[in-house]
């Protein structure tokens, strides 16, 4: 009997189930409060230049942030819970899909409000469209059954929320590293360097708020030197639905008003929604792992992902690449479950989040072919979930049919996007192929050298910080960042650092073990996309990971997990994995706070002192909770060990 079967046999839910039910009820109340507060008391700007202590203002900021965060959780996960209550079977039963109905609903709500902006206030339109979500969730809470959110899935959701909480803590903290881009404004990027990508999706919200065309003069100014077609709208419209429902007031200008923890223009609400959507990578990883592994192993895999420094960083740097990776992993689950059309549509949605999704498509389809031909013999019976047999029987013809159907789903979304931007379709990114060091049509010598530098910076720890210390992409605009700031940026682009330096030996051990048992799967899932992106990427050499390998990174973590934990392993290996995977919280603490504290200090001015304390307390509490869950998830009685001598005799 499975965990889910056991949970449905008890007429009275246990204490954790009741606690999760009450937590769900709390988010619905916060969602209703968010919609009501937007009408009664819309967000407004405050004077933060005086520097005096303002307890009432600080308390208001904190209350607004908590309400917006709870509402965002309800709007994102609520539709999935409702759908699961109506139709408990099918793909929605997999955690990788729990958030997708909500994300799609938010996208559609934002799109409808934008289309009707000249006929009605987008704030009213979005509020009316989002109001049914908490109401429907309230009905589900009243008719709660344990199978709605099984035990192991609750742990995965807790990990998802804790990663999100770390992002909220960083965003509320008034301090940032020296040279932070747009520092002191509401759109501060939380890092030094020239990348403005974290606020690109917000421009969709500005278009939505005023009903402007993306190809009008004002719309074109938002995206120059690119245009709207080059930037996927899915994340911005999804976040924009919540921003406008809270009656924020985005302006027709760059979002550079003086920074405050919760602003009138809705940028903090935008951050909250973007971080929530990025953190779904934890849910997607758990869902994919649970397709092949037993739930207790899938929880450990999700903990491995949640405590990865790269995942945490990419959650609070609000560009939609991690969201695109979540759609990619969900598409992988759909392919394995023989739902190719759904998989293609999900890949299309991932493309609308960020075009980097396209790099993962050949790998997914070829990996499916390998699984169809070889199955999953590399997994041990103790770790394998009974549902792993859903890979299906071998058959090249059947794979061809599924690949074509998936391509039709992806092609439909891709073609619709081309039609929506007819007359403005411009291929801005093909020049990357012939570029070197950001220069178009470089010489063959520079092209080769740039790819060698890119490869080295992608895999050699801290090479970028020393060898390419003057690179403009790792320094403050027009100047030189402090050494510690440049070191902190290595966790975003170098694979061997991004997994966590403490965990790196076990990552390599697990990945090699996986590759030895499934070398062809490793080639198509990892070597193919890495080589493709190395050849393509000529914009810079700061490390390939952050440029489009988000889905590949998540899959590599899961592959390494299979190698060192899902497969039979010794007690020594299990102990080292448990310690090293959990100890990465030290590295997360460093990249979140080390460069900032060293260069600008721990607490800001008097007006932000209370919110800074709140932010730091949230960071500490979230970090400790992540450690506790990870430590328990990798306990020997959960993931098991095997005596080496016994294993060799068997």
pLDDT at 10 over 80: no
Give the pLDDT mean for 196-200: 93
428, pLDDT greater than 90: no
Residue with tokens 């999100």: 164
Asked whether residue 391 carries a pLDDT value surpassing 60, the answer given is no
Confidence of residue 585 (pLDDT cuts 50, 70, 90): very high
Decide if pLDDT at 5 tops 70.
no
Buried b (16+ CB within 10 A) or exposed e, 580-593: bbbbbbebbebbbb
Give me 499's structure tokens: 């997994």
| Mean pLDDT, rounded, for 131-140 | 95
Checking if the pLDDT of 644 tops 90, the result is no
Least confident of 50-64, 66-80, 236-250: 50-64
Q: Could you report the per-residue pLDDT of 465-509, keeping only the tens digit for each?
A: 888 878 888 888 878 888 888 888 899 989 999 999 999 999 999
Q: How confident is the model at residue 645 (pLDDT cuts 50, 70, 90)?
A: very low
Please state, in angstroms and rounded to a whole number, the distance separating the CA atoms of residues 81 and 400.
34
In DSSP notation, 264-323 reads: TTSHHHHHHHHHHHHHHHHHHHHHHHHHHB-HHHHHHHHHHHHT-HHHHHHHHS--THHH
User: With 70 as the cut, is the pLDDT of residue 386 above it?
Assistant: no
Whether 141 shows a pLDDT value over 90: the answer reads no
Q: What is the largest CA-CA distance in the chain?
A: 75
Confirm if 571 and 636 have CB atoms less than 8 A apart. yes
Q: Is the pLDDT of residue 14 over 90?
A: no
- What is the pLDDT, as a whole number, of residue 603? 87
Residue of 587, 627, 592, 476 whose CA lies nearest to 172: 592
DSSP per position, 592-615: HHHHHHHHT-S---GGGHHHHHHH
Instruction: Let me know: does 548 contact 321? Beta carbons within 8 Å.
Output: yes
pTM listed for this prediction = 0.94
- Work out the mean pLDDT of the chain and round it to a whole number: 90
559 within 8 A of 525, measured Cβ to Cβ: yes
> What does the DSSP assignment read for 620-650?
HHHHHHHHHHHHHHT-HHHH----HHHHHH-
Q: How far apart are CA 422 and CA 431, in angstroms?
A: 21
Chain segment 253-275, per-residue pLDDT in tens? 999 999 999 999 999 999 999 99
């Amino acid at each position: 009997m499975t965990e889910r079967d056991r949970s449905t046999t008890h007429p009275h839910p246990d204490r954790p189930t009741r606690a999760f039910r009450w937590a769900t009820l709390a988010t619905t109340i916060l969602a209703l409060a968010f919609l009501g507060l937007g009408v009664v008391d819309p967000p407004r700007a405050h004077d933060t230049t005086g520097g005096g202590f303002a307890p009432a203002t600080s308390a208001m900021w904190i209350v607004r942030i908590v309400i917006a965060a709870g509402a965002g959780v309800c709007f994102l996960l609520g539709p999935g819970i409702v759908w699961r209550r109506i139709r408990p079977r099918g793909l929605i039963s997999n955690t990788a899909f729990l958030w997708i109905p909500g994300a799609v609903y938010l996208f559609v709500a934002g799109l409808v409000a934008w289309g009707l902006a000249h006929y009605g206030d987008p704030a009213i339109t979005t509020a009316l469209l989002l109001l049914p979500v908490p109401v429907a969730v309230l009905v589900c809470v009243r008719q709660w059954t344990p199978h709605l959110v099984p035990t192991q899935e609750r742990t995965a959701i807790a990990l998802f929320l804790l990663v999100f909480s770390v992002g909220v803590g960083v965003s509320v903290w008034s301090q940032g590293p020296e040279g932070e881009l747009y520092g002191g404004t509401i759109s501060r990027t939380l890092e030094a360097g020239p990348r403005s990508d974290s606020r690109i999706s917000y421009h969709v919200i500005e278009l939505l708020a005023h009903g402007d065309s993306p190809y009008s003069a004002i719309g074109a100014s938002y995206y120059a030197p690119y245009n709207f077609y080059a930037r996927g709208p899915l994340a911005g419209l999804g976040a924009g639905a919540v921003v406008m429902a809270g009656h924020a007031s985005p302006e027709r200008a760059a979002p550079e008003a003086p920074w405050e923890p919760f602003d009138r223009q809705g940028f903090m609400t935008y951050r909250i929604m973007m971080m929530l959507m990025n953190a779904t990578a934890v849910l997607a990883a758990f869902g994919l792992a649970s397709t092949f592994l037993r739930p207790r192993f899938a929880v450990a895999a999700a903990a491995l992902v949640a405590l990865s420094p790269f995942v945490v960083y990419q959650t609070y740097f609000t560009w939609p690449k991690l969201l695109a990776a979540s759609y990619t992993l969900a598409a992988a689950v759909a392919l394995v479950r023989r739902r190719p059309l759904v998989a293609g549509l999900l890949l299309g949605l991932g493309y609308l989040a960020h075009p980097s999704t396209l790099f993962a498509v050949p790998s997914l389809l070829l990996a499916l072919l390998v699984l169809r031909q070889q199955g999953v013999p590399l997994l041990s019976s103790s770790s394998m979930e009974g549902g792993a047999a859903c890979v299906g029987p071998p058959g090249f013809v059947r794979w061809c049919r599924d690949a074509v159907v998936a391509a039709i789903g992806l092609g439909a979304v891709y073609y619709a996007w081309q039609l929506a931007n007819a007359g403005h379709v411009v291929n801005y990114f093909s020049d990357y192929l012939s570029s070197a060091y950001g220069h178009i049509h470089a010489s063959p010598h520079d092209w080769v050298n740039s790819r060698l530098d890119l490869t080295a910076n992608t895999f050699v720890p801290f090479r970028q910080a020393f060898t390419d210390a003057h690179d403009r992409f790792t320094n403050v605009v027009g100047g030189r960042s402090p050494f510690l700031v440049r070191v902190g940026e290595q966790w975003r682009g170098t694979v061997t650092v991004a997994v966590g330096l403490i965990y790196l030996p076990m990552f390599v051990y697990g990945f090699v073990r996986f590759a030895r048992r499934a070398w062809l799967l490793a080639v198509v899932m990892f070597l193919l996309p890495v080589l493709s992106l190395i050849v393509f990427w000529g914009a810079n050499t700061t490390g390939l990971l952050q440029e489009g390998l988000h889905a590949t990174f998540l899959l590599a973590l899961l592959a390494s997990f299979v190698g060192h934990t899902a497969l039979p392993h010794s007690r020594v290996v299990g102990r080292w994995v448990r310690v090293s995977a959990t100890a990465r919280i030290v590295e997360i603490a460093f990249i979140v706070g080390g460069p900032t504290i060293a260069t600008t200090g721990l607490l800001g001015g008097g007006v932000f002192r209370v919110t800074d304390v709140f932010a730091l307390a949230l960071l500490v509490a979230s970090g400790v909770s992540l450690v506790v869950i990870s430590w328990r998830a990798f306990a020997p009685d959960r993931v098991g060990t095997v005596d080496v001598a016994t294993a060799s005799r068997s």
